[in-house]
Amino acid sequence: SESTSRREKPFIGLDIGCGSGYLTVCMGHILASDDSKIYGIDHARELIELSRNNTAKSHQSFLDSGRVAYYEGDGFLGLPEKGPFDFIHVGAAVEEIPEELVNQLTPGGALVIPVGPQGGEQKLVKLTKLSSSSASSDVRKEEIMTVVFSRMNDEPPKSEKEKAQGIAEEMRELYKEGKEITEALQHWQATFKTEHGRKPSAGDMAKDTRIKGLLTRFKDLQREIQKTENTFSKARQEEEKEAA
């Protein structure tokens, strides 16, 4: 990729679904020079606050200079007022790539996004915009690898009750995904035992790219479920305050 030190203009990047802010800050280190900007966006107000707080702990200068900034909003819509972007990363899966995000790329800019159904086969896709045209023929598509991501949420809720309902739905999806991964692992283990006459070892699992990916996702999923349960508990409290 083009070195930021040789660029004629500041680098502008967007991290959709910024979560804890970890990757947004990494992008600030790796991709941006001092005069460049990295924006993080998430639909959940609590996650935006978490991102800002985490960034302030060790990279307050990024916030002070505007090198990194966070916004609450609908990731499907991107952040057009801050674009166009040289790079957009999406941290949640979609079944169809939002055209709005492709339109917010600069010529030569890249969009990296997981594509596929919740609980089904997903591919990490890289789209490179070849020109300023919005025509699909002016976009190069590459499939990088098979991945497993949670789905991308719709626009942010307008009330505390809607927020709690949305988080509850997210929890149901996470539980469902956890069950599907568990069943897939059990099926693979049973098939392996039938074919090899023994239970698979940790080494056997590590050699299978798909199983290794599922195990990694399962560990991440457990952390997501814990975090979502905590967020749901706080959302219910806020819902009760709003209704009082």
Q: Identify the DSSP state of 115.
A: E
pLDDT above 90 covers a percentage of the chain that reads: 34
Q: Which of 92-101, 113-122, 161-170 has the highest mean pLDDT?
A: 92-101
Given a cut of 70, whether residue 7 has pLDDT beyond it is no
pLDDT at 8: 61
Q: What is the DSSP letter of 138?
A: G
Cβ atoms of residues 192 and 172 within 8 Å: no
154 pLDDT above the threshold of 60 = no
Determine the pLDDT at residue 161: 74
CB count, 10 Å around CB of 155?
A: 11
Distance of CA 186 to the CA centre of its chain: 27
Residue 31: C-alpha distances to residues 90, 105, 147, 228 (Å): 16, 16, 23, 30
What is the signed CA dihedral for 188, 95, 234, 40, rounded to 10 degrees? Answer: 110
Question: Cα–Cα distance between 111 and 104 in angstroms, integer?
Answer: 10
pLDDT value for 52: 92
**Taking residues 77-86, what's their average pLDDT?**
90
pLDDT (average), residues 145-152: 82
Q: Give the predicted TM-score (pTM) of the model.
A: 0.60
